Structure 1
C-alpha cells in the first residue's frame, strides 16, 4: 500500500465513534451562508441559466 494512503487510513481510524459524537455534540452549529441563502442562490442560478439558454436558442 502506498505510504500516503496508509497514512490517511491510519488517521481515519484514530478517532472512535463515541469520541466523534461527543466532540460534535458540544459544538453549537450556527447557520452558515449555505443554510441561509442556499436555496435562493440555487433557484436564481437555475432561472438565469434557463433564461440565457432560452434567449440563445431563440435568437436568429
Structure 2
C-alpha cells in the first residue's frame, strides 16, 4: 500500500507541474478549435438524424388514438 500511495503522489505532482507550466496543451485550444468543433458536431448530428428519420424505415411509436376501435364486448357464458 505504501508503494501505491507513493506512486500516486508522484504522478499527481507531475500532473500539477505540467499544468502549472502549460505543457499539457496549448492554452488557446478552445479559441482555436472550439467553434469549428461545435459547428461540425451539429452538422454531423443533424445529418445522422435526418438519415435515421427518412431512410431507415423505423416504425415509431405513433399514438393509436382514433385509429383503433375496441372489440365488441362478449357476455361471459354462464354455466349452470
| Larger-gyration structure (1/2) | 2
Normalising by the residue count of structure 2, what TM-score does the alignment of the two structures yield? 0.40
Richer in helix (by share): 1
With CA pairs under 8 Å and 6+ residues apart, which has the higher RCO, 1 or 2?
2
